[in-house]
Structure 1
């Protein structure tokens, strides 16, 4: 058994026993490692300490439990192994900067710790061959765009801490409100393509610690519109990472994150491919029924 498989086994165990007391000694025994070496290997592969990871996974599950209105907040806390309402509230607030009561009254999209699927770091697929892993289907292919596509939308700066590392930094999703703002203003954009695509584009920001994010809708031709920005998806060859999950929330949270990690940290480096400094999330729409999307990147043509 590979080292990552041993750690994955304990990640699976942790998710199945979040309501119980989880001891590092027990996890280490499962991997046939000493507690010291188990924790060292866990931190290396998961980028979190064992206890920090368990805490953040409990908080991720808490965001789901709190949406069940028939459950008392105390019941949610007890179901996740917390000894009291006060302890649960304190850790929830530390994690998400809001109380469980506030979240229940006004649910917002929260970034939360994703359960890692470590096989994605060690499995290399050929083009046009699907990879199925823990509820996500990923396929990478090449597509040639024969004509440019034009988009009009909004831009914002976003801290890079929300896309760094393994897992997702916990907190309020900085892009959820931005997308909702764009959809409210989308009706003011003339020349929209009927059933056209929507895209989210990430590219470098001149301000250190941030990236620029563009959210836009497809239009028939380039237009200049006050308070809006433009993006051209240029014609040419692209590497496209298509992926599918069980529902829209999983798609834009866990699925998008894992697909990005696989494409940028595993697939592209192993194929020794360099890309232009932007990536495009391409959606048919943001309808809650959508369960698939694509990431488009443009390879750099290297001079021989």
Structure 2
């Protein structure tokens, strides 16, 4: 039933791995279609049906997104960046850049304002599609690690929704809030330099972006999403997001090591969440500090799944 979801996800992964190649959109589509074993027409049709965007436009937006980071972080000439990302000239690159972001590459380089960068499409997610885990072998689960750490002072840039309780439910609700949908927020966060939890450095893959659990004054929990930034961060921030200063604080960390997301993703999250919910803070001399956000870091291939729960020592 989801064969084409898998196929198009493979196509997207190929695009990401070969994005640097100096090739036209037509040559790229031909090459990828041959690798997948389907005609260009059929692949392009299915790509549009499942992503809501044409192959040509998707590739253009991903190339532009990577070019933004080059403009932000390097002194490469604009013409060289344009050519690197397969634009025929600096003029063509500037036209495409301004049409997408509303400013020219030169204006962006001077200001470095937050921009909505195109995310990598995620067409095949078994949990989002309702398939669930592909393995029932719970022996693949690891023992949950529990330890105390101290995080230095930092900033947390985020949006929140008191009615949400998990990642998928959060974004479903946020789709109804103008300017706070997943693509917009994640794209903006990607354009901001210096996320403390960044691992791969790849844009459009939610690198450095984390979830969170927060509590209102009544004790009701909601869900938050954002990035941690250095305490001295001075750059421009998106107007639709909240930025708070977080002091140096102790956390109890509940974690599971790296795992196969498709096989045991739900079981891992459930095991870590259960360890948190069943943990006796008082026996260990702490109380949970519900005035602060519980950070949720989810990176199956490189980190695993972790919850950073803020605590205070009992008096």
Give the TM-score band, short-chain normalised. 0.3 to 0.5
TM-score if structure 2 supplies the norm length?
0.47
TM-score if structure 1 supplies the norm length?
0.48
